[in-house]
Amino acid sequence: MMGVSWVAAASVSPEVSRRPVAAQIEREFSGVVAWYGTATQAWWAMVRVRGGLRLVEAAGPSELREAIVTARGWPWPR
């Protein structure tokens, strides 16, 4: 049985482990740029909306997907 030991998994930085999630979100939503802010401890995306661009912030990847879909009315950041 192959697997990853907890020691090997612990050595991967959280930033590296979040990159595939951000890349998946970018594939799901054409034209969106997504990332995790290590300083803010939040997920971010730059989304095209009518009339320009909108920066949205979320606590997690699933909430970020919701923020992208509803970017024009998303409450964060203000």
- Domain enclosing residue 60, as ranges: 6-73
Per-residue confidence band for 75, with pLDDT thresholds at 50, 70 and 90: confident
Does residue 1 sit within a domain? no
- Cα end-to-end distance, the chain, whole Å: 49
Does residue 78 sit within a domain? no
pLDDT in tens, 19-74: 999 999 999 999 999 999 999 999 999 999 988 999 999 999 999 999 999 999 98
Does residue 42 sit within a domain? yes
Per-residue confidence band for 78, with pLDDT thresholds at 50, 70 and 90: low
CB count within 10 Å of CB 33 equals 15
Does residue 65 sit within a domain? yes
In the chain, the number of structural domains is: 1
